Homo-oligomer: A and B are copies of this chain.
Amino acid sequence: MLRNELTEFLHIEYPIVQAPMAGGVTTAELVAQVSNSGCLGMVGAGYMTPIQIREQIREIKRLTSNNFGINLFVPNEFNVTENEMELANQILQPFRDQLNVQPNEPLKIPHSNDAYETLKEQIMVVIEEKVPVCSFTFGVPTKEIIALLKKHNIILIGTATTVQEAVAIEEKGMDLVVVQGSEAGGHRGNFIGGFQESLVGLMSLIPQVVDHVSIPVIAAGGIMDGRGLMASICLGAKGVQMGTAFLTCTESGAPRVYKEAICKTTEDETIFTRAFSGKWARGIKNKFMLDMQKHETSLPDFPIQNTLTQSIRRAATSQKNLDYMSLWSGQSPRLAKNQTVETLIKNILSEAKKIIRNFKN
């Protein structure tokens, strides 16, 4: 009943993609279980080394013979001086003291080139391991990368937050586009316009994008159940990408305190912050986000700030201290449950069937 050009193209049964959440959430178990359930599991590999990627891909292949995908970050330009970096580092010291974390080693400004080199190495693994699907966030990869991946018949997915970005993704020859609504948790994927302008709700974003591209559109942001799936399809999307709904599943690698925090949160308790990574992202409001609000706009860009806060986030996680963890979540936490992937997908499908049945009457 839910088969369409998207499911056919991705060789999946149901038009549901598990969002490629970076930072340890997308375990091999989660990805494989999603793919085994007839949906598309995705590895959030943005922060992973080529070696880690290869290991995880091989583990997933042992657990499923179905299609799955991987997500990589397109490097963004950043400008930072050593002084700015040192200042940003000093701002973080009280948080390190609080968590008994060692001060950072003297910091060197990374080269923009390094990130491109990493991306190329990541992509070589994707090609060698014949990963069927590769999605990108934070921009569109270069012509050369797109051509290389296409030569190896890898399905390419871009991430857009506006009509203009979706059109650019189609023009560059990508096969599918994920549209990220303002409801979405985690990092914003905007790469042409500004952050504020990229905050378009899915009720507005889906139909306006659908009217301007011919590649299939996958909706992302706040979608948690069969109601969100069917609503997205009504608006013209061919499928959905769900993050928070999978993050709280048993198979996800998110720490237990993080899963519990989402399940206890309400729709009006997530806000945007640059404090953790230098890039705007939506998460559950906590002490770190509030304390850092006064520095918000002067912090260094991604990935500099991300590197600076790494030890804080790690220590907070190992100390189960929610005050200083990055608790990314979309705007529908009241719909989150700690359940198995199998139960989640079964419920989505039965809800979708019920909605269709009601329309038939």
Which residues of A are interface residues toward B (Cβ below 8 A)? 162-164, 181-183, 193, 196-208, 211-212, 219, 221-225, 227-228, 230-232, 234-236, 266-269, 271, 330-332, 334-335, 355-356, 359-360
Contact = CB atoms under 8 A, between A and B. Distances in A.
Contacts of A231: 203, 230-232, 234-235
A204 B330 contact: yes
Kindly name the residue among A182, A203, A266, A267 whose own CB sees the greatest number of chain B CB atoms within 10 A.
Answer: A203
Nearest to A351: B234
For A162, A208, A211, the residue with the greatest tally of chain B CB atoms inside 10 Å of its CB is A208
Given A163-B267, A198-B268, A334-B211, A204 B227 contact: no
A33 B355 CA distance: 32
6 contacts: A200-B331, A201-B203, A201-B221, A203-B222, A204-B267, A227-B234
Contacts of A182: 182, 199, 201
A180 to B, nearest CB: 11
A266 B221 contact: no
B203 A268 contact: no
A193 B268 contact: yes
B230 A234 contact: yes
A154 B330 CA distance: 38
Nearest to A271: B196
A267 B222 CA distance: 19
| Residue among A200, A231, A266 with max Cβ neighbours from chain B (10 Å) | A231
A334 B163 contact: yes
Given A268-B164, A359-B356, A359-B360, A227 B207 contact: yes
B227 A271 contact: no
A68 to B, nearest CB: 25
A202 B206 CA distance: 12
Contacts of A163: 266-268, 334
Contacts of A235: 227-228, 231
A121 to B, nearest CB: 34
Contacts of A193: 268
B332 A208 contact: yes
Contacts of A331: 200-201, 203-205
Most buried by B among A164, A201, A206, A334: A201
A181 to B, nearest CB: 6
A204 B183 contact: yes
